[in-house]
Structure 1
Amino acid sequence: MPDYNLVADVGATNARFALTQADVPDLLDIKILPCADYPSLEAAVSAYLSSTNATGLISKACIAIAGTVHLPQFSLANNHWRVNKAKVDGALGVQALWVNDFTAQAWAMSKIATADLCLVKQGQAVAKGNRLVMGPGTGIGVAGLVAHDHGWLPVMGEGGHVGFAPTNKLQVQVLEYMWGKYEHVSTERLLSGSGMMDLYHAVAHIKSMPPSLSSPADILQQAQLASPDELAYQALRTFCEMLGNAVANEALAFGAVGGVYLTGGILPRMQQFLLSSDFIQSFTNKGRTSTYLQQIPIYLCIAEQPGLNGAVIALDHESRRHNVTA
C-alpha cells in the first residue's frame, strides 16, 4: 500500500484537506469540510481519512491553521473549535508539522505561477526585495517573505490585529461606531468576512440607510449587480478604500519593495469590483512615502488552493531542513 502525506488548510469556516505522494506535488483527493459540521479538528481529520481510505497510511502531515500553532492547545478566533494538537496527531497517526495558515499562504506565494496571479497595480519590483502577503478571509492574514539563499522564507506576525487607522471623515465615523461595540477596533474587525457585517451596519448608521442584508455573501452579491443595492455598494467601496490603506501600512512596515500579494477567500470573489475601486489610490495616498508605494506592484492570487499548496511547500522545506541537519 502506498504511503501518503496529508496537508490541511484550516480556517474558521472550512477545513480543506488533500493527500500527496512522495516527490509528486499534485494534490489528490481534495475535500472541503465545513467546520460547523464537526465538533473538533480531530473529528474532521478522521472523517477525511475515512472518506479517502487513507487511515493508517499517512507518513507525514502539515496542518496550516488560523491559530497560535506554537501552543499545545489553542482556540480559533472565529469558530467553536478548541484544538488539541496531540489529539489531532493521534487521529493522523503521525506528529504533524503545524504552521499558521498565513505562513502557508506565504509559502504558496513564494512559488506562485504567473498564470495564477492577476495584476492589480503595476510597479517595479526589486528582485530580492521583501514581499508582503496579505488578504481577507473569515479573518485577515498578514505575512512577509524574505529572500533566503535561492528561495524565500515566511515571516509571520499578527498584523490583522493592529489598530484600525481611518483616513477620512467617513472612516473616522466608522471607527466611532465600532468603539461603541468593541474596546479595541483592529483591522480585522472591519476588513474581513467576520467584520464585513459590522462595516455594513456602520455605513448604514452613518448614512441613515436601512440595512436589509444579513450575510457577507449577500453584501458581495448585491454590491456587484448591474443595479446594485446602494448600501451594499457603498459598504464594499468603503471596504476597498480601507483595505488599500491597511495594505499600504503593512507594505511600509515590511519594506515590501519586492511586491504585494493579495490572497484570501474574499477578493477573488470581487475581483472586478476591487480593480475599479479606489483601492490603488488609497494604497498610494501616503504623503511623503507615496512615491515609495507607487513603485510597488500588487498582485491578486486567483489560484484555487493556495493554502494546501503552501502546506506542501512547508512540509518539503521542513523535510529538507532535517535532511541537512541530520
Structure 2
Amino acid sequence: MTEYRIPMPNFNLVADVGATNARFALTLSNAPELLHTKVLSCADYPSLEAAVSAYLSSTGALGLITQACIAIAGTVHLAEFSLANNHWRVNKSKVNTVLQVEALWINDFAAQAWAMSEITDADLLSVKQGQAIERGNRLVMGPGTGMGVAGLIAHNKGWLPVMGEGGHVGFAPTNTLQMKILAYMWTSYEHVSTERLLSGSGMMDLYKAVAHVKAMQPDLTSPSDILQQAQLSTPDELAYQTLCIFCDMLGNAVANEALAFGAVGGVYLTGGILPRMQEFLLASDFGRCFSNKGRSSAYLKQIPIYLCIAQQPGLQGAVIALDHKSRRHNVTS
C-alpha cells in the first residue's frame, strides 16, 4: 500500500526589528497576507538569532523558510553590527544559519518607506492639508525608540526608498526656550541629535530638560507615563508642556528633512509614538511649526502630511521589499 504524505507548506519570513520589540510574521508564496504575527520583547532574548529561533519553533516553521526579509534598526550593510538602543550585537551569518536561507537585510525605515509606497487612504490620517505633486519625492519619518528618516523617489511605475541617518543630525532650536533645552542637553551629551529629544529613548531627557528650564519637579519615570499623563482630561502640567514642546520641535525637524528631500509628494509620519497621541498631535502647533520657515514657508505650506495608522507597516514593508527583490531577480535571470 502506497503511503501518501501531504507536502508541508513553504513560508517566507518577514521581521521588523527595533530596539524594543522584534515583530515577526510568515507569508505564503504569492500571498502577501501576514500569518502568525508575533511581537517579541528584545529584552527577553540574548540575541536576534535566539529570537528568530524561538519564533520559528513556536510556529512550527523551522526548516520551512524559503525566503526572508529582516528589517532592522542597524547598519545592515555590515556583516556584524550593534543596535543603538538595546543590548543586541547582530551577526547576520548566525541569523541566516537559523533561517537556513540567505536573508534580505534592510534598514527598518526602508521597510517603513516600502510600506508607504503602497499605503491606502484607509491607513492614513490627514495631519496637514496640502497639494502633493503626484510623482514628487516623499518623506517618511517618525519617532519610535529612535528617530527614523527615509525618502521615496519615483522609479519606473513604482517607488524606491532612499536611506540615511537623518535622526542623528544635530538638533536645531527655533526659539529661546529650545535653546535653553539644548544648552541643558549639552551638559550630558557632546552631540545632541534630533533623536536625543524626539524619540522614545529621548523623551525622558526632554522631560528632564523642560523641568530644569521651567524649574518644575519631574516626577514621572517613563515615556509611557509622560504620554499618558499629558493626555488626561486634567493633565500633569510638566508632561503636558513636554509633549507640546515635543510637537513643536517635531514640526521643525520634519520640515528640515522635507526641505532636504524636496518632499513635494508628501510627508508620511510613522513610528510607534505618534499613533498613541493622534488627537494631541492634531491639536498641537506641529503644522504651524512645520510651515514656519521664513522664505521657504510657502514651499512647505503646499506639502500634505499624513500619519500612518496601519497596524504593522514595518512587516508589510518587508513583504513589499521581498516581492520587489523577487521580481527584479526574475527580470534579470
**TM-score, normalization: structure 1?**
1.00
* Structure 2 letter corresponding to 1:3: N
The answer on 1:57 being equivalent to 2:82 is: no
Q: How far apart, in 2, do the equivalents of 1:53 and 1:113 lie?
A: 32
Aligned residues: 326
* Structure 1 letter corresponding to 2:200: G
The answer on 1:232 being equivalent to 2:246 is: no
Residue deviations 1:216-274 (CA, integer Å, cap 9, x gap) = 00000000000000000000000000000000000000000000000000000000000
- Provide the aligned C-alpha RMSD in A: 0.3
Identify which of 178, 191, 199 aligns with 1:184. 191
Q: Once the 2 structures are TM-superposed, how far is the Cα of residue 180 of structure 1 from its aligned partner?
A: 0.3
**Partner in structure 1 of residue 324 of structure 2:** 317
- Where 2:310 maps in the other structure, the secondary structure is coil
Q: How far apart, in 2, do the equivalents of 1:211 and 1:178 lie?
A: 16
Residue deviations 1:127-171 (CA, integer Å, cap 9, x gap) = 000000000000000000000010000000000000000000110
**Partner in structure 2 of residue 37 of structure 1:** 44
Q: Once the 2 structures are TM-superposed, how far is the Cα of residue 325 of structure 1 from its aligned partner?
A: 1.2
**Structure 2 alignment gaps of length 5 or more:** 1-7
For residues 114-153 of structure 1, what are the structure 2 equivalents within 5 Å? 114-153=121-160
Identify which of 16, 27, 47 aligns with 1:20. 27
Identify which of 170, 173, 191 aligns with 1:166. 173
Identify which of 286, 292, 303 aligns with 1:285. 292
- Where 1:201 maps in the other structure, the secondary structure is helix
Residue deviations 1:68-97 (CA, integer Å, cap 9, x gap) = 000000000000000000000001110100
Q: Once the 2 structures are TM-superposed, how far is the Cα of residue 11 of structure 1 from its aligned partner?
A: 0.1
* Structure 1 letter corresponding to 2:79: P
Q: Once the 2 structures are TM-superposed, how far is the Cα of residue 323 of structure 1 from its aligned partner?
A: 1.1
* Structure 1 letter corresponding to 2:262: G
Q: How far apart, in 1, do the equivalents of 2:81 and 2:93 lie?
A: 12
Q: Once the 2 structures are TM-superposed, how far is the Cα of residue 322 of structure 1 from its aligned partner?
A: 1.1
Identify which of 111, 115, 123 aligns with 2:118. 111
**Partner in structure 2 of residue 193 of structure 1:** 200
**Partner in structure 2 of residue 267 of structure 1:** 274
**Structure 1 alignment gaps of length 5 or more:** none
Q: How far apart, in 2, do the equivalents of 1:112 and 1:227 lie?
A: 36
Residue deviations 1:2-60 (CA, integer Å, cap 9, x gap) = 10000000000000000000111100000000000000000000000000000000000
Q: How far apart, in 2, do the equivalents of 1:22 and 1:232 lie?
A: 47
Q: How far apart, in 2, do the equivalents of 1:325 and 1:250 lie?
A: 35
Larger Rg: 2
**Partner in structure 2 of residue 88 of structure 1:** 95
Moved over 4 A (4+): none
- Where 2:254 maps in the other structure, the secondary structure is helix
The answer on 1:75 being equivalent to 2:82 is: yes
Q: How far apart, in 2, do the equivalents of 1:84 and 1:23 lie?
A: 29
Identify which of 314, 324, 329 aligns with 1:307. 314
- Where 2:119 maps in the other structure, the secondary structure is coil
Q: How far apart, in 2, do the equivalents of 1:321 and 1:121 lie?
A: 36
The answer on 1:203 being equivalent to 2:210 is: yes
Q: How far apart, in 2, do the equivalents of 1:113 and 1:295 lie?
A: 21
Q: Once the 2 structures are TM-superposed, how far is the Cα of residue 324 of structure 1 from its aligned partner?
A: 1.1
**Partner in structure 1 of residue 9 of structure 2:** 2
- Where 2:40 maps in the other structure, the secondary structure is strand
* Structure 2 letter corresponding to 1:136: P
